Chains A and B, each alone.
Chain A
Amino acid sequence: MKKSMRRTAFAASLVLAATGVVGISLPIAHAADVSLTMVAADYPGDGKTQQAQWDAVSKAFAAANPGITMTVNVVSWDVIDDKVKTLIATGKTPDIVNKGDYSAPAAAGLLYKASEMVSASTLADIIPTFLNNSMYNGTAYAVPDLASARALFYNKAILKKAGVTKLPTTWKELLTVLSKIKAKNPGVYGYAVPMGPEEAQAEFSIWAGGNGGRLYDYTAKKWTVNSAANVEAMAFLKKMNDLKYIEPNPAKCDRTVCAQTLFAAGKAAFINGSVFLPGWLKDNGGAGIDLGSGSFVHNDGQEAVTLGVQDYFTAYKANGHQAEIQKFMDFLYKPANYAAFLKAAGGFIPATKSAGVEAAKDPALAPFIALLPHAIFYPGDIATWPAVKGALQQSVGLAVTGNPSKVLGDIQKKALAAK
């Protein structure tokens, strides 16, 4: 009796434990319904998360399409790559992802083509330049969601105090200007250089680009992280560092909490800023900054460049929801819904022709749209870009305080070894 009771108790405890652990993952959806899932990066917007906007779109979509439900999980930029990778590795691949790269899953054959993700009419509305940046081996595997370009922002009051009347255009002129700023504005850093992990690849690309340097050579089909031009650009930054024209420890200075915060506090004269910088400053204590913007500086004999950054929607084949994904994407790109998405994201350059016409009239966006033809983009269509981006974010800032040629050489080794 006692024995059998023990056995029953044992079995019961096992069952309890098993349901406790496994029960969560049991599917409870109705057979006929399709549940779409999406993981989306959180754009800066107006300081609030975009979850509310995505929930509203999902709800409207579900109401218009009975039998399909949509769940969007908004994730912050610094963890979204890890999150998506973990989901895929654990067999919980989402249907749609909205983030900054696409080439690795495209190369692995995980993605629907852009032409399968959206209808022909939606695809025709995407601005061709952006669609061209969404290719892998000649086929578009991602649909651009929005874009931004960078400009050189400056604090007018600091420049005025230093007696600077003309914006620098070359590296040499920049050094002169920065020495004046340093002399007249104690406690102010001339140029905020965010080379911390958050976005070191952007700052690097801009400085290297101003010296004619690129990350990838499309003719030779090879990474060129430690090209002579790139090393020279980092050596120039090192010089600015040695002269104390930039903030201390740039390798640790992240874009948001370090560089932009210094700029908002009036402690930095120049900064690389995106379209959303003016709005961000207003919400983060920099409302009083008298803001000016212009082109980035370049080395003698080179041209001024800007960095164009675009992000993407990608759709994964894992769950076989192609028809439903297309319905949702077409719904999202309807002008009213797309405008709501852009608004919640916080004033970026639209990726569709129809929205682009309106945006060109916006005085805040027009200068950036004008810069786009001179923009260099990340080599986002190369499959190993995520690994190279990771290596850059981790280490490239050390080139500014250490040995540029060695630091870039080490990253180049990693780039060549990446598979």
Chain B
Amino acid sequence: MATGSIRRGRFGALPWIGPAVVLILVMVVWPAIEMIRTSFHEIDQTGIAKGWNGITNYKNLIHNPDLPQTVVRTVIWVSVVVVVTVLVSLPVAQILHGKFPGRKAVRFAIIVPWAASVVMTAIIWRWMLDGFYGILNRILQDLGILKEPVDWLGNPNQAFIFLMVVAIFVSVPFTTYVILAGLTTIPDDILEASAIDGANGWKRYKEIIFPLLRPALLVSAVINLINVFNSFPIIWAMTGGGPGYSTDTTTTLAYKISFRDQDIGQSAAMATVNFIVILIFISIFLKVSKWRETSS
């Protein structure tokens, strides 16, 4: 009897989650299986499958001359963007949490970079940074800071820094709002009690607010980790991973292996490796959110 009702309970949810499950199976699970299958096949450059070839694609990937520097760059990309995003979002969320006239307008303005299409944002940044026509050069020259225009996206290191700036720019709104949500959950009585006990200003933030923000911080950091690692449009629209391969991450490299080097099999191997990294991030996320549930 008891087991029967549990079964019915599970089954009862299916009409509602059914379409979503089907959608996930068709749009997410099946392509992922196809991708993994492709990574073990030989695909000729026209796109025709020539059959199973074991781990050859993975061997080719490991020997790909562009891979080592791309992996290093991807690690830098993900860690710098996520850390700086959180560091910027903390004070911004704190400001938005305070009461001041026009708070609604400011809160709304912060959402804009998030709401705008990432490709659009990236293209606008590309033109602002353009060496011949960019507004940044115009401003710096008018202020007398620069004598000659600089092609900001032409030098690999400079270009990579600007890519990270844009990635931070589009990641801050989401992170800010998650932290803001965390701030609103901190009960007033705790803050009042701490004030009575003499904790004020920085001390109160360090000892009371920040520790209580940890769950929100961890969640936003892990979601950012996934987003930033997967980020294709910013890099593609601004530098195309170039000059050469000098601003690629493993995500854009997977695309280039397929469509520049014409090697779909090796590209699928790269994408599968990326997929595994994402799975690791997701398992961290699940652990973190579970930890949050038990602690709160």
Contacts and interface: CB of A to CB of B under 8 A. Distances in A.
A97 to B, nearest CB: 11
A387 B262 contact: yes
Interface residues of A, number: 49
A338 B48 CA distance: 33
A85 interface: yes
A419 interface: yes
A390 B15 contact: no
B45 A6 contact: no
Contacts of B262: 85, 104, 386-387, 390, 418
B45 A395 contact: no
A410 B16 CA distance: 55
A398 B243 contact: yes
16 contacts: A6-B11, A17-B22, A17-B23, A21-B23, A21-B26, A86-B47, A88-B46, A104-B44, A110-B48, A384-B45, A390-B260, A390-B261, A391-B260, A413-B65, A418-B261, A419-B45
Interface in B147-197: 151, 153-155
Interface of A: 3, 6, 9-10, 12-14, 16-18, 21, 81-82, 85-89, 104-105, 108, 110, 196-197, 248-249, 251-252, 258, 261-262, 267, 383-384, 386-387, 390-391, 393-395, 397-398, 401, 410, 413-414, 418-419
A251 B151 contact: no
A391 B15 CA distance: 51
Contact of A3 (B8, B19, B47, B153): B8
B261 A391 contact: yes
B123 to A, nearest CB: 12
B132 interface: yes
Interface string B9-28: 00110111011001100100
A80 to B, nearest CB: 11
B261 A108 contact: no
B12 A251 contact: no
Given A104-B262, A395-B244, A14 B154 contact: no
Given A104-B45, A394-B245, 11 more contacts: A6-B15, A10-B18, A12-B15, A17-B22, A82-B259, A104-B262, A110-B46, A248-B151, A249-B154, A397-B244, A398-B243
Nearest to B149: A248
Interface string B120-158: 000000000001100000000000000000010111000
Given A6-B15, A394-B244, A85 B47 contact: yes
Contacts of A18: 22
B116 to A, nearest CB: 22
Contacts of B256: 394
B68 to A, nearest CB: 13
B213 interface: no
Nearest to B45: A104
Tell me the dominant secondary structure on chain A's binding face: helix
B19 to A, nearest CB: 4
Contact of A387 (B19, B45, B242, B244): B45
Contacts of B242: 196-197, 251-252, 394
Contacts of B132: 258, 261-262, 267
A405 B142 CA distance: 41
Tell me the dominant secondary structure on chain B's binding face: loop
Interface of B: 8, 11-12, 14-16, 18-19, 22-23, 26, 43-48, 65, 131-132, 151, 153-155, 239-240, 242-245, 256, 259-264
Contacts of A387: 45, 261-263
Contacts of A88: 46-48
Nearest to A81: B259
Given A85-B47, A390-B259, A249 B245 contact: no
Contacts of A413: 65
A89 B264 contact: yes
Contacts of B155: 249
A248 B243 contact: no
A397 B256 CA distance: 16
Which 7 residue pairs are nearest across A and B when measured between Cβ atoms? A249-B154, A89-B47, A390-B260, A251-B243, A88-B47, A9-B15, A17-B22
Contacts of B239: 252
Given A6-B15, A387-B261, A418 B45 contact: yes
Nearest to B16: A13
Given A16-B19, A252-B151, A418-B45, A6 B261 contact: no
Contacts of B154: 248-249, 252
A413 B63 CA distance: 12
A108 B43 CA distance: 11
B243 A397 contact: yes
Residue among A196, A248, A397 with the highest chain B CB neighbour number at 10 A: A248
A12 B46 CA distance: 41
A267 B154 CA distance: 18
